[in-house]
Structure 1
């Protein structure tokens, strides 16, 4: 069982979210800037710069003693989801329990753009391939030939508001919570945790991990 010393909570609950890459990091940074989350939480975002780096980054942040809880936000990518399944295996192994991953990993199947587009429409993406999704991204955001460039991400994220945040949340709530199903996500759970003033969920999740 991994050892860590939990921080003493004086004011806000300090939470770390490991983001798979730039798109996830920028998106969560955008949501954080909307001030739609409860002020009880101090959310620290950490860009892993690739899903292969997530398990080691998670272990480092978890054992640092700086956070009450550490989460992961990532894509499932394409079937058979080998890298995503590898992340889950490593998180479960780290905690020494078979279901730790389901409590700390928040995903979009097949990709984060599925969630981002939910700010404007009910959309099911069948692939994480940017080229194949470009027409839908253009339709709902006006960004032509999306390639994931920083300038393109900025244009899209500048269109996110408190109002369409609520539309996104309701749409994601209606998605399946089954990471093997295309068009699924459990991202709404993370947002609901961060929105409530009832912080008992932190101890509940940690009880599954420790």
Structure 2
């Protein structure tokens, strides 16, 4: 594994490997709100599927593309085999048993658990889009949501600075145990991106190199 160089920049590049279109579009929408500290330049990368995440992560990390690099993905359904495989590969890459605990930002059962918190405090019953569609329609007016491009565009057009604050408050109340349904550690990423002191980046990378 290539060792990362120390960070001495006045502006920091934060990379986020997104599982797919929904995660990528969501991060891009949040970027457009300009709610994060201006010293952070966020770059989202679409892995186009959870099976591609470890390779995309390894490539970006080894090439020092970013000052700090995260993964944003679903836990999906029990027994979370694909999710656990992603974590195992990240741990193996860094030669640590808990590297993924720092790197992986998750939504359980899926990213929609986070997205819907722009409108209220909800517990999704399932990762399945057909099961979640009635609640999505209740919050957004979008009928039969299947994450198609036009539906994603409509969904994320409804996100604004005001309901971003609401989401942040609700997500902070979720369990950060990825084995627990209706959980997420998304607040960790948000708090980092709001932080005025960029020294967290050095500390973050040092944890991965121990």
Report the TM-score, using the length of structure 2 for normalisation: 0.97
Q: CA deviation at 1:126?
A: 2.1
Cα distance in 2, alignment partners of residues 67 and 8 from structure 1: 10
Question: Do the aligned partners of 1:4 and 1:64 also contact (CA within 8 Å) in 2?
Answer: no
Superposition pairs of residues 9-24 of structure 1, within 5 angstroms: 9-24=8-23
Cα distance in 2, alignment partners of residues 10 and 56 from structure 1: 27
Aligned to 1:42: 41
Greater mean deviation of Cα atoms: 30-39 or 199-208: 199-208
* SS of residue paired to 1:118: helix
Q: CA deviation at 1:160?
A: 0.5
Aligned to 1:195: 194
2:31 paired with 1:32: yes
Question: Do the aligned partners of 1:41 and 1:194 also contact (CA within 8 Å) in 2?
Answer: yes
2:136 paired with 1:116: no
Cα distance in 2, alignment partners of residues 169 and 163 from structure 1: 10
Question: Do the aligned partners of 1:117 and 1:123 also contact (CA within 8 Å) in 2?
Answer: yes
- Give the unaligned 5+ runs of structure 2: none
Q: CA deviation at 1:14?
A: 1.1
Aligned to 2:5: 6
Question: Do the aligned partners of 1:118 and 1:172 also contact (CA within 8 Å) in 2?
Answer: yes
Cα distance in 1, alignment partners of residues 7 and 112 from structure 2: 36
Report the TM-score, using the length of structure 1 for normalisation: 0.97
* SS of residue paired to 2:70: strand
Aligned to 1:205: 204
Question: Do the aligned partners of 2:7 and 2:201 also contact (CA within 8 Å) in 1?
Answer: no
Question: Do the aligned partners of 1:7 and 1:65 also contact (CA within 8 Å) in 2?
Answer: no
Aligned to 1:143: 142
Cα distance in 2, alignment partners of residues 3 and 64 from structure 1: 8
Cα distance in 1, alignment partners of residues 84 and 171 from structure 2: 22
Superposition pairs of residues 23-172 of structure 1, within 5 angstroms: 23-172=22-171
